Structure 1
């Protein structure tokens, strides 16, 4: 800038003499010229400023187009050294721009791609080749695939335009693998598969399709189906294809006569191929159903013969579908349930069962459907409401139908029930016999041994005993006799009760007087153990019951209380009349019972009797008999007991209805 000023001043000094010689008019013209020239310079300066701004904008556009471009750009010289690159290239190679500048481009490639790049770079320099080619970049964790083109750049440079096509390559490889797998699958399934475009040209055929027409896939692809199908391509098929190209899934059966005059049957399905919402062709799926047709024909003939047999069979036979609807019933089935064949065809299977066994019938039906066969016992409902027990054998005869064979076992069932009832009675009688023999052998024999023993001692030594000792022996004999008598009465009542030989004859009974009679009966026995028996029963309390049964119950309960009462104990008898029942209670402060003993107290088949406080024995029949007698009155016998504390027996008898 200074040299420019020096040159201007030098030129000005050179012309000073000339200027001094100018006239005023000439000077004015010169000043005018200078002013014009000044304005011209100002205009030129403004143009330079505008030019500089345009250059800045151009550089900004260049930055946006080059540095921020979505494509990776790399500028290299003729020796392949990187001179410039944009941000996308730095991102692609996972390096900073400064680290890449001045480095050979091939240093970013793997060994195989280096030689390939040199080959294409040489072609580009000689201008003999300018195509796009692919290379691989070996990075730390993966191999990237790039697409690269080389073009001339100013100043003997070359511009590399690079696209990352890794995802595309992966997708293409996956697509190829899928296509290969699809080909393998379609070639190994027993279906003729073809893909046809909307112009009716083959796009794909599987191996089975090739084998059938004896034409390779490569020869078929691009060929019209009309030329391949020839005689098969009828007007009917043309209509089906037209419907498929309209977007309709078409299914139909086709028949084909071979050169050997063999008839083949095919099941054909045409599925429209949509792309962007438009039908661009269809897929043809063809199954050879010739064997199935032969089987269906044989089945139809067999079914005709079968239906003729089951229609006349004396065995009840029916056919139902998977919904349980009767599709066929023979005359024997109609006769079995009392409905006509027409009526039965309007029913479902479970509608001929009862409420109590409908779930059982439903379970049998579902087992038949799930497993293809089932055998079960079911009660069917006859038209007259009577139950008919059958053994139902069912088996699947088609995809949707099942056949059932019925065996009427109603009479057998009735006989079985009668036999079971007899068996129960026989078992009960046998148990009764065994219990009776046990009592006779032990419980009834022991008291007689005592009576005979004491009476023999008394007879032998009557003259040697004083009056008190003789009385005691007589008392022992009397107690043993009463005990034996009670046992014998219980035994006889129990046997009659087990064989239903006792009838109930209820009358009005004054409880208090019955209790006093029993106390007088048991007082000698109670006095030996110094037991006090208290009667708190109101004298005017009346209970409606069988006199003998009530007396047996009270006698047994009072006898038990004495047997298990402690020496010096107290037995209390209460009674009260409530709104709907009369309660009689016998309590003692004896040894009580354990929970196990209490749980089996009324078990008629298990002897739970334990010795009394003075060693008294028992059969265990008394309490069971008491419970049975009270229940015959529709009453309840309750027991409350605590071990080592005592027991309370409560008789609850209902009041007679007015």
Structure 2
């Protein structure tokens, strides 16, 4: 059992021990009952604790009731030494805590029970309670609990003769104490280890541990325990036959005890010094120190120290041949010895009575333990049932999720399949539209190319066959017509090339920032000569910069086409007006003329490749048929839209929008 306990200890050690820097306040409360010092009369303490108990019972505050019961029990244990009463109170407290599953409180109830059993020298039962306390404390991973319990368990194991287990207890105390930085706890563990090594005759190891304990007690100015360490070091040196060092340590211990007015400690130190002088056959100094020890012992009625003083006084007087004082001392020694024996007999009788009475209470503890084990079994069974139930619920949920998932997957697959079918149908429709567009496109090309080419053929034929019969003016007129046909053919091919590049994705419509007003002005200057031939005025009303984000070349093509169309359909002496109107996130560009205008039917057919419509200009100029289609394509690729407002005989206004920001 003990091996398993310490195996668990080693597993616990992997947790970060310094996680709790501050000890539980309950530890200080519990240990305050075992600390020496001035305290109020026991009647007052019992009265106050009983008042707490009554208040808790009146308020039905079970945790407070358990704590009050424990407090009364600790007063009976440490002050009144009525162990049976204390044990009964601890059992009642533990029963309440067990029923409420108050784990931390159970630790201290078990510690208190262990102290009560140890007080009547039932070390086996004490060890059982301490192990139970430790098992509960493992749930909290708090090293403050570990060092408290293990220090007490080491002491009990030492009393049981379980030296190896006691060593393990104290070594673990040192291990768990290290991150807590509690020198007093470390000093106590080292002091106890020193005693264990002394019992084994390992004086060197014992001396090393006692000196480390002494250094710690000096560092924290624990003067009383410093004197205790010096006294034990002196005794250890005496065992090692080094009486000089033994005497030096006892003298320092005596000085501290005199400073603290510790009469019991003073009696012990004087006796130890007297014994050392007796061993050195310095009987006079031995007697002097033994008498001082006797005076201190008499003041406290400490029969143990008085007996030791009388014993060595008798030996010393005998060696000095002072037989009268030797005999008197011997008689006093026998009196003290009888007193001690009678006291021990009475104590043993009382302890037997206490053990008998406590034996009755042990049945209650055993029943409490049995109930606890049975309750734990029931809880474990409930946990197993709950776990099985959770597994079944989890499996049901998994099945539901799987069915739902399969349904969703099937539905999604059907949806994907439907979308694919719809996409295929749309693609088929698009392909049909593309084929129709291609047919229309080739129809336009064939029609529009045939006209300029026929004209070129006719004009060239006239020039070849009738050069001699044509006048100079007729030749000039034919050359002008030939030039018009060539320009018309060039415009057609240029638009055709641009449209083809757009359709095949060879034009990357990347937006760049540029000034739209400058672009309008450049196209005005470019087409000015063409307009002057028809005495047409081009006015640019934009005199301020207008930055936009668009593909400059495509916008330039649109503006050039629209101005060319306006020149074509504006009579001599007409006016073409270029304008820009800024809006919130775009600009509206307008190219207006006061030309022939268009009917609503003609407007509806513009910008469409599936309807072929061309109109001759005011000077019989022919259209290419692709210009407006190309304009619509380019404007939409730049994120804008294009439309026309027109009325027959009043001219037309072509408008399109372009974004002013990159987004």
TM-score (normalizing by structure 1): 0.36
User: Which protein, 1 or 2, shows the higher relative CO under an 8 Å CA cutoff with sep ≥ 6?
Assistant: 2
Higher strand share: 1
Q: Whose helix proportion is higher, 1 or 2?
A: 2
